[in-house]
């Protein structure tokens, strides 16, 4: 069994069968899973509504499932990572 140590090593799957075949031969490094868990900075949260193209949402859910994550949590993590990237790029630390 091959161990995945980087999310970039997980391919995009066209079908559930391809995904099944991949995961029957691979497993995730526990450190990778633990590093993917994002602890919120605050106990408060605000609910918002976003509209997605159904195909895009299906792809997001498939990616999350392949990483053993809740798709909403994964999306929040992606947004947090991108926000930090934008802050570093612009030098704006106060926002």
pLDDT at 91 over 80: no
Return d(Cα 49, Cα 52) in angstroms, integer: 10
Express each pLDDT in 18-68 by its tens digit.
Answer: 999 999 999 888 888 777 776 666 677 788 999 999 999 999 999 999 999
- Euclidean distance between CA atoms 40 and 6, whole angstroms: 23
In angstroms, the Cα distances linking 32 to 13, 35, 58, 90, 94 are 20, 5, 23, 29, 30
pLDDT at 78: 95
Residue 5 has φ and ψ, to the nearest 5°, of -115, 0
Q: What pLDDT was estimated at residue 42?
A: 62
């Amino acid at each position: 069994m091959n161990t995945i140590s980087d999310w970039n090593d997980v391919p995009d799957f066209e079908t559930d069968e391809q995904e099944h075949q991949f995961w029957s031969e691979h497993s995730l490094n526990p450190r990778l899973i633990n590093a993917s868990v994002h602890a919120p900075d605050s106990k408060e949260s605000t609910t918002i509504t976003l509209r997605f193209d159904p195909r895009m949402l299906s792809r997001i859910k498939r990616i999350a499932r392949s990483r053993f994550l809740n798709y909403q949590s994964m999306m929040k993590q992606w947004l947090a990572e991108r926000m930090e990237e934008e802050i570093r790029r612009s030098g704006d630390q106060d926002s």
